[in-house]
Amino acid sequence: MQRSRPTTATTSQLVAVYPYRDEHGKLQYEVERWEPGRNGKHKSFRPRRKKKGSGRYVYQLGSRRRIPYRLQELVEARDAGKRVYLVEGEKDADTLAERGYVASCHRSASGVFQKDWIEFFQGVGSVVVIADKDDVGRTNAKRAYHFLKNTCRVRVLECNGGKDITEHLDNGGTLAKGQFNDVTVAISTKITSNGSSQPNEKESGWTAAQCAQWGKDYLYRDVQDGHKHNGREAVAYKFALQLRDVPRAVAEQAMRLFVEDCPDEDSEGNHKPYGLDQAMDTLRSALDGEAPAGWKPGVFSAAPAAAGHFRIQMMDELEMRDVTWLWDQYIPFGKLTSVEGDPETGKSLFTLDLSARVSCGGKLPDGAPAPACCVLLICDEDDYEDTIGPRLQAAGADRSKVGAVFVEKDESGTIVPFYIPDDLDFIRGAIDALKIRTEMSECLVVVDPVTSYLSEQVNSHNEASVRRVTSPLAEMARETNAAFVMVRHLNKNSSETNPKYRGGGSIAFYAAARAALQFGTHPQDESLLVMAQAKKNLALSRPSLSYRVIASPTNARQPVIAWEGSVDLDARTMLRGPDAREDSPDRDHAVIIIDSLLVDSGTDPRSVPARVAVEACRAELGISRQTAQRAAKKMGLVVERKRADDGTIKEWIWREPTAQGSSKVQIQGKV
């Protein structure tokens, strides 16, 4: 990926190191605090741990267990039934600890509050969560509150005297009651999957107007977006279900306001079929735990433990749709496609060739019309300015339709890494921005290679770890309907001929992709390259296509792909390597040559020195040693050693097996 120069000469300095010790006091890892931070921020953090044996620092936590800051003091306070303060950041926790209070973090450099941390708070006297006075701070505090509210007494406060507790105390504030705003009620509503607050707790303090506004914003909007379950009355029932846990009088007033405020027509001009009386009957049925007669809910919401994050929907209520294709039967929209092959087989050049074709709406390699798409390139191995850009131009791309992701450096000159899945929101925003700028509705995204962008916490050889990358990536592809192409190198196991096991890293990459294309050399012509379908979950079989890398007619210094049409070669055969085809003509010729040598041998059983057979094949038709070995194997010949008087191996013999069988080993590729 392109690397830009730092925009400022300010030097970042290490100002603090925060040790993370487990409940037994053993150091697990540390977090460095640097000021100023990256990307113009006033601070940044780097987790580190010591590598076993060498003792040097590794700046990634890997699979290291994440723990709360100052855990040992937290456990001691729990066992003594003391109060614990949760603040945002290690600096604030140290500020309180220096004043004699027990403090940990609800959000720190090592991550947000985790569900498995609950056990450390079972038995504390109470928990006071102090939120920073911004949206991020309140969100982090809300997360901790919802995890802990059923475990211990929890309050959420905001400081009057500053943005955070350190600033509050530095400004002369104290921990006295009047020094804080209690925001527990304001954040006590649950968080739904769309990020909205949900009025489903009696203690939430929601007014009828607030409930009605929530319904109007998040339920009626669903209907306008086309999520019509059993008609518009479904909206009233869904709203009623969310009002079951607020006071009945508030719920009834909220329903009245909701019905009165909703527009009379939906987005398709249909009048709403329910009136106030029907809506109130629906509400009363929901409050009494009943469903209206004949009602079949499209979304089951009877599982409060799911907290709005999951749902069950009946298959007959889903809107069926066909898979759409960027390249019919090869690369689908809204899915992941894996492009795999060894170096120098044209994988990256293929992605640029494809990008050029869709950027200008030309023709695809098989002659089909290319859909007009914008393109987002996330490339690490080649430079955008001296390699990727010129190659796009040589391929005829409309470069005004192609965007590229650049990384930046912080003030200290350190590259700010781009990670997946950490930076998926950036990719999502980039796709939207490209579609607006180019006025195109479809997008092709190329990640080359995908393993270069895995965060430090991802083990590329562990299936569960990789799934935490591919699952959100696949979901984003579905939501944006972008065609995601992931480039992947092959592993070193050249004896493996099954494409699913040849990709580098975990098989989870291959499993998550709905299509995979294998790139390699033709077994009979090393100058001819081939693209073959390796995986086609959603597709019909399509022929493999051959191509050559040639100099561009417009710029002899730049390579381009010249497609030569279909070829009778599948991915498995290609992976077997030179002369691996079942119908190899060279091998068939070698069989004839070796058989004639056996006939002329005059031995019983018939045999021939392997060296003589190989030399005869090479001299007559230029056949390689490997082809001669495969021919002998195809003939069922066995190999035996001929030893000299001193016991050393004099030569290898290929011979026909005896009628009684042979104790010798059948040919395994050795001469």
Tokens of 176: 């006295």
Residue 660 pLDDT grade (very low, low, confident, very high; cuts 50, 70, 90): very low
Q: What is the pLDDT of residue 160?
A: 86
CA nearest 337: which of 151, 531, 162, 192? 531
Tokens of 244: 């079951």
Q: What is the CA radius of gyration of the chain?
A: 34
Higher model confidence: residue 272 or residue 527?
527
CA nearest 537: which of 515, 511, 512, 508? 515
Residue 365 pLDDT grade (very low, low, confident, very high; cuts 50, 70, 90): very high
How many C-beta neighbours within 10 Å does residue 321 have?
7
Q: What is the pLDDT of residue 488?
A: 94
Omega before 332 cis (within 30°)?
Answer: no
**In this structure, is the dihedral angle defined by the CA atoms of residues 622, 624, 625 and 630, taken in order, positive or negative?**
negative
- Token pair 């695809």 is found at 364
Q: What is the pLDDT of residue 286?
A: 61
Q: What is the pLDDT of residue 377?
A: 96
Give strand pairing partners of 617: none
Mean pLDDT, residues 255-277 taken together: 57
DSSP class of residue 481 equals T
Count of CA atoms in the C-beta half-sphere (13 A) of 413:
2
Q: Which amino acid is at 15?
A: V
Is residue 36 scored above 90 in pLDDT?
no
Q: What is the pLDDT of residue 564?
A: 94
Higher model confidence: residue 347 or residue 625?
347
Distance from C-alpha of 637 to C-alpha of 652, rounded to nearest angstrom: 12
Provide the percentage of residues in the chain whose pLDDT is more than 90.
30
Omega before 657 cis (within 30°)?
Answer: no
CA nearest 438: which of 334, 557, 549, 358? 358
Distance from C-alpha of 197 to C-alpha of 186, rounded to nearest angstrom: 10
Strands in 299-420 per DSSP E: 325-327, 331-332, 336-341, 374-379, 402-404
Distance from C-alpha of 428 to C-alpha of 630, rounded to nearest angstrom: 51
Q: What is the pLDDT of residue 180?
A: 87
Looking at the whole model, is its pTM more than 0.75? no
From the number of C-beta atoms within 10 Å of its C-beta (0-12, 13-18, 19+), residue 51 rates as exposed
Q: Which of 30-39, 141-150, 202-211 is least confident?
A: 202-211
Count of CA atoms in the C-beta half-sphere (13 A) of 177:
0
Give strand pairing partners of 402: 375
| Helical (H) or strand (E) element with 30 | strand 27-35
Is residue 592 scored above 70 in pLDDT?
yes
Is residue 548 scored above 80 in pLDDT?
yes
